[in-house]
Structure 1
Amino acid sequence: MCMLLIILPGPDTAVSTKNTLVVGRVGGLKTMLGSCCGLLIHTFAAVVGLSAIVVKSAYLFAAIKYVGAVYLCYLGIKTLWAMRNLHKQQLEDVEESNKYTGHSCFKQGFLTNVTNPKVAVFFLTFLPQFVDGTGNTFGPFLMMGLIYTGLTALWFVFYVYLLDKISAFMKKPKTKMVIEGLTSAVLIGFGIKLALEK
C-alpha cells in the first residue's frame, strides 16, 4: 500500500522531474535526499506528537499549508521564467546555470516535502492502523516511518535513473520546453490545490 501511495505523482515527483531534466541525475538524487529528509522530520514529528498538534490546530495547519502552497507556486513560476529566458542564453551560460541550480536541488526537495501538511496527516491517519495501541507505540511507529522513507528513496532512485536514461529525448529543445511547461503548470496546480485544502 505504501508503494502505491509513493508512486502516485505529487509535488515531490514534480520537483524531482524538473531537477532531473534541468540539472541531470545528480540534481534528481539531491532532490530525492531532500524529500527523504523531510519525511524523516515528519516521522519524528508524528512519533513525538507534534503532527497531531498541527492537525488539531487549524491555524498551524493553515500556516504550513499556505507556506507550502506559496513555495510550490514559486517553483512553478521560477521554472516558467527560466524556460522563457532559456533560448536567449548561450550553451556555456546554460551549463553554468545548471551547476548553480544543483546546489538548491536538496533544498527544493526538502522544503516541498516538509511544508506539505498532507504528509503529516498521512502519517497520523495511515500508519497508526498498523500499530498495536495496547503496547509501546514509539518503536513500531518509528520503524514504519523509516521503512516508508526507505521505500520512497528506492522509488525515486529508480525514477531518477529512468528519467536520466531517456534524457537524450527529454532534453531536445522542443520536448524540454513542453515538459518544463507541464511541470511548471503541475507545480502551480499543486500549490493552488494545497492552498484550498481544508
Structure 2
Amino acid sequence: MTMEFLITTLIVVLLPGTGVIYTLAAGLTQGARASVLAAFGCTLGIVPHVAASVAGLAALLHASALAFQVIKYLGVAYLCYMAWQMWRDTGTLAISTEGSETGGTRLEPLRIITAGILLNLLNPKLTLFFLAFMPQFVDVGAANATVQMLGLAGVFMGLTFIVFALYGVLAAQARDHVISRPLVMQRVKRSFAAAFGLMGLKLALAER
C-alpha cells in the first residue's frame, strides 16, 4: 500500500456523493448514533462491488449493457424513493424528536443500515470504479494479487466508514439548533430531498 493510494482514496471518499448525503441527513434528522449506523450501512454496501471486481464480474457488467441498465435504474428508483420519503418526512430519515416531551420517531437501526447498503449496492458505477481503481495499485502478475486487492479494499472501506461517520456526527452536533427551528428544518429536508433527486438524475444519465 502506497501513500498515493491513501491520498487518492481519501480524496474519493471526501467527495460528496449519495453516501455522504445520506449520513449527513441521518445525523440531522436522527442524531449521532443514526449517522454512524448510516455510515456502517454505506460501507457494507461496498462489499458486493469489491467481490464483483475481484471475481471479474465487473467486466461482465461493463460488457453487458442490459445488466448495467437494470442495476442503474434500480438505483435511480431507490434514490427517487429516498427523495420522496425525505420530502414527506417519512421512512428511515423521518425527523426524530426522541427525548422531547412530545416523543417522536423511534430509531430503527436495521432500517438505517439497510438503506445505506442499498444506496451503494444499487450503484453499478461503484463496481466499475473498483475495476478501474484497484488494479493501479496492485501487481496483477503477483501470486498474491487477489490478497493485495482485498487488503486495499479493506483500507478503502475503513476510510469510508471513518469519513462518513465524521460527516454524520458533525451534522448531528447542529441537530438541536436546526430541529428547534421548523422553517429551517423544512428547508434542510427539502434540500436533502433535492440532493437525492439530483443524484438519481445523475445516475440515470450515467454511461458505462
Shared fold (TM-score, shorter chain, > 0.5) = yes
In structure 2, C-alpha distance between the alignment counterparts of 1:118 and 1:94, rounded to whole Å: 40
CA drift at 1:99: 2.9
Of the three residues 162, 168, 174, the one matched with 2:183 is 174
In structure 2, C-alpha distance between the alignment counterparts of 1:93 and 1:61, rounded to whole Å: 46
CA 1:35–1:24 in 2, change beyond 3 Å: closer, same or farther?
same
In structure 1, C-alpha distance between the alignment counterparts of 2:102 and 2:79, rounded to whole Å: 26
Of the three residues 141, 147, 160, the one matched with 2:149 is 141
- Which residue in 2 is equivalent to 1:22? 29
Structure 1 SS opposite 2:149: helix
In structure 2, C-alpha distance between the alignment counterparts of 1:22 and 1:167, rounded to whole Å: 7
> Does the 8 Å CA contact 1:22/1:98 hold for their aligned counterparts?
no
CA 1:71–1:92 in 2, change beyond 3 Å: closer, same or farther?
farther
> Does the 8 Å CA contact 1:68/1:116 hold for their aligned counterparts?
yes
- Which residue in 2 is equivalent to 1:49? 56
2:169 matches 1:161: yes
Give the TM-score of the pair, scaled to structure 2. 0.85
Gaps of 5+ in 2: 1-7, 95-99
1:34-113 to structure 2, matched below 5 A, reads 34-82=41-89, 95=104, 97-100=105-108, 102-113=109-120
CA drift at 1:133: 1.9
Gaps of 5+ in 1: none
% identity of equivalent residues: 28
> What code does the residue aligned with 1:62 have?
Q
2:10 matches 1:3: yes
> Higher helix fraction: Structure 1 or Structure 2?
1
CA drift at 1:92: 6.8
> Does the 8 Å CA contact 2:31/2:169 hold for their aligned counterparts?
no
> What code does the residue aligned with 1:167 have?
R
Deviation per CA, 1:129-182, whole angstroms, max 9, x where unpaired? Answer: 111122132011111111100000110121122112222223232221111111
Q: What is the total number of aligned residue pairs between the two structures?
A: 192
- Which residue in 2 is equivalent to 1:187? 196
The root-mean-square deviation of aligned C-alpha atoms, in Å, is: 2.1
> What code does the residue aligned with 1:81 have?
R
Deviation per CA, 1:66-103, whole angstroms, max 9, x where unpaired? Answer: 000100011001111127xx8xxxx77761x2435x44
In structure 2, C-alpha distance between the alignment counterparts of 1:132 and 1:119, rounded to whole Å: 21
> What code does the residue aligned with 1:59 have?
L
Q: List 4+ stretches of structure 1 deviating above 3 A.
A: 91-94
> Does the 8 Å CA contact 1:169/1:175 hold for their aligned counterparts?
no
